[in-house]
Structure 1
C-alpha cells in the first residue's frame, strides 16, 4: 500500500511539472490601460528611449528581467529562438539592474544584433512600481494602440510564449 501511495504521489507531482500548459495571465487590474512612459537608458549609458515616443500601430511586447535570474535567462533564450514569431511587434527588454550587469546580459544574448528589440535600463523603476511586481521575469503584451492586453509573472514556457499575439 505504501508503494502504491508513493507511485500515485510521484505521478501527480510529475503531471504538475509538465510544460505543455499555456500559462494564465496575471491580473494586474490595469488591462486596457496605456503602456506607461518608461525612460529606457540605452547600453551606451548616454542615450535614452521613451516608450511614449513609440509609434502606435504595432503590437508591443515588454520583457522585464533581472540579469542574474536563471528563469529570466531561460525565457530570454526561448524568446531569441522564436524571435520571428514577433516580427510585427516592438519588443522592449528592460531591467532596473546596474548598467554593467545589463550589458553582460545583453551581450550574452547578442541583443544588439536583433532587429526590433529596444533594450536597456528602466532608470525610474516605472515597471516595478506601476505593476506592483514582486518578482521577475515579467512579460506584458500591448495591442497596436499600446493598451495592456495581458501580463505574466514568472517564466513562460515555450508553448505560452508562442501563444502570445
Structure 2
C-alpha cells in the first residue's frame, strides 16, 4: 500500500512540475507578445472632449508622447493630474494624450479641475466602448505609455508613478 502511494507520488510530482514550467513559459511568451504589440504607437481613433476626431495621425512629429489611460474617479489618476498641473512648465514639449472611457463631460470636468484643459499639447480623449483599452491590453489605471519622437516605446508603467520618474532618462524632458 505504501509502495503504491509512493509510485503515484513519484509520477504526479514530475507531472505537476512540468505543468508549472509549461504555464510559466506560455505566460512569459504572452507577455513578450503584448510588449511587441506596443513597441510602436498603435493605430487608434478617439474623440476629444471638444468633439473632434483624434487619431494616431494627429500625433506631433519630433515630439515625445505620453499616453495616459486613466479614470477620473481613480485617486492615483487624480494625484498624477495634480502633479502634472504643478510641474507642467517642465514638460511643455511633450505631447500628452489622456484617455478615458468615462463620459466626455466627466473627462472634461477632470481636465478643468486640474487646469490642464487649455494647454496646446495636452489632449483629452474619450475611448468609446474602451476600444483602445482592449486593443492595448491595459489591465489597470493609470497606465502610461511613453514614446520617443519616432513613436517607439521607451517605457510603460501600470499604476501610480511620479512624472519625473516616468520621464527620467528619456533625454527628451524639454
Q: TM-score, normalised by structure 2?
A: 0.69
Secondary structure at the counterpart of residue 68 of structure 1 = coil
Equivalence for 2:49: 43
Q: TM-score, normalised by structure 1?
A: 0.73
Alpha-carbon spacing, 1:31–1:115, altered in 2? closer, same or farther (3 Å): same
Counterpart Cα distance in 1 of 2:169 and 2:77: 17
**Structure 2 alignment gaps of length 5 or more:** 1-30
Alpha-carbon spacing, 1:37–1:124, altered in 2? closer, same or farther (3 Å): farther
The Cα of 1:31 is off from its aligned counterpart by: 7.4
**Which protein has the larger Cα radius of gyration, Structure 1 or Structure 2?**
2
The Cα of 1:96 is off from its aligned counterpart by: 1.2
The Cα of 1:161 is off from its aligned counterpart by: 3.7
* 1:119 pairs with one of 112, 118, 124: 124
* 1:143 pairs with one of 145, 148, 153: 148
**Structure 1 alignment gaps of length 5 or more:** 1-25
Residues paired across the two proteins, number: 139
Between Structure 1 and Structure 2, the one with more helix by share is 2
Counterpart Cα distance in 1 of 2:166 and 2:82: 11
| Structure with higher RCO (Cα < 8 A, 6+ apart) | 1
Give the CA RMSD over aligned residues. Answer: 2.3
Counterpart Cα distance in 2 of 1:145 and 1:75: 25
Secondary structure at the counterpart of residue 123 of structure 2 = strand
Does residue 87 in structure 1 map to residue 92 in structure 2? yes
- Runs of 4+ aligned residues of structure 1 deviating over 3 Å after TM superposition are none
Does residue 102 in structure 1 map to residue 107 in structure 2? yes
Counterpart Cα distance in 2 of 1:37 and 1:78: 29
